[in-house]
Structure 1
Amino acid sequence: MTIRADRLHVLQVLRGKEPFLGGSALPGGFVRLPEDLEATALRELTEETGLDGSALHLEQLHSYIAADRDPRGPVASVAYLAIAPNLPIPVAGTDAARARWEPLDDAGRASDPLAFDHDQILADGLERARTKLEFTPVATAFCGSTFTMTELRRVYEIVWGVALDPPNFHRKITSTPGFVVETDTHRPLGAGRPARLYRRGTAKVLHPPLLRP
C-alpha cells in the first residue's frame, strides 16, 4: 500500500494467464525452494511489478488455506503487507499482463471482484494497516525520510478515513516517547511560515497508543 494523490492505493496486477485470465489480483506467485517466504514475497514483487521491496516496510499478514480458494486445487497462500511512500508506476512482468496502483476504495468492487480470495486478503491488509497505526510508528513508513506534522496527520486521516484535529494530533504525537524526532530543518510552504520537519524515532510501539476515533 502507498499514498498517491492524497488517496490510499493498493498494488494490483492484471493476470496474464488462467485461472482468472485478465482479472485483477494482488501480485503473488509460488515459492521456489530453497527460498523462504519473505524471499519469495520480495522476488514476486520485483518480477510482477519491477519494484524493489527490500527498502519497504514488509510484514507477514496471514495464511489462507481454504480448500476451494484456488480452482487449480488446494493451495495455501501466505500474504504480506508492504507499506511505502509514494512509489513510481510499477512495470508488469512474468505472469502479470499489467501492474497498476489502484485507489483502495475502488479496488475489488462488486462489479469487478479480485481473483481468488484476494478481496478478503485486501480487507485484512487494510485492517492490519489501520491497527498498526494505532499501536506502532508504521505511519512514518508512508512518508519520506523526513516529513511535516501535516503530512503525518494526513497519513492517519487517509488510512483511517477520518478527519483529525491538528493541534490535538500534534500534541499526541510529540508527547509519545520515541515516536518522532524534531529536526533543525524546515520546508517552505508557499507564502506561509515554513513547516518543521521530523523523522521517525526509535520507538517500536506507541505508549500510549494513538487510538482511532
Structure 2
Amino acid sequence: MSEESTEKKIKEAARIQFIKKGMTGARMQEIADQAGINKALLHYYYKSKEQLFYSIFDDVIQDMLPRLVAILNSELPLEVKVYQLTDKYIEFLSDRPEMPLFVLNELQRHPEELIQRLHLQKGIDLSVIKDQLKTEAEKGTIREISVEMFLLNMISLLVFPFAAKSLFQAVAQVNENQFSQFMEARKTEVPKYIMNALRP
C-alpha cells in the first residue's frame, strides 16, 4: 500500500471515529483498527490525535471556505446567494457534524491558532456583499442591515442546530434519520426566514 493511500485510509477512519465520538472521545487505537493498520503505523503518520484532527480540519477548510467566499463575492442576486450559502453550509456540516463543537472548543482553548488555521488574520473580503446589502436597502427591497449582522444571523441559524444536535434530538425526540430530514428542510426554511426578516 502506498503512503498516499495509507494516509487517506487513516484520515477517513479518523473522520468516522470523530463523527461517532467527537475528538475527545475518539481513541487512536480505534482509529487504527478502523483503518486496518496497527497503532505504531498510525503514530508514524500522526504523533497525536490532535495533529490528525487538525490535518483533517485543514483539508476541509481549504476545500470549503473558498467556495463560500466565492458565493459571497459573486454577482448573483442577494436571495440566490442566501439560498446557495445555506445549501452549501448545511451540506458541509451534514457531512462533518463534528466541526461546530470542535471549532467552539478550540475557540475557547486556542483561539489564535484556530484563527490562523482558518486564514482569518487579514479577514475575508466582504465588500461585494456589503455593497449589495447597501444597494438593496437604498432600493427599498430590504431594510438597512450591516454585513456583520447579516452574516452573524445566517451563521447562527445554520450552525446552532449542529452544535446543539444532541440537545435538540433529546428535546424534539428525533432520531438521526429524522434530524437529517429536518436539516434538509432547513435548506429552504432558513433562506425564507432570512429574506422575510430582511424585508422592510
Greater strand proportion: 1
- The TM-score bracket by the shorter chain reads under 0.3
Q: Which has the higher helix share?
A: 2
TM norm structure 2: 0.27
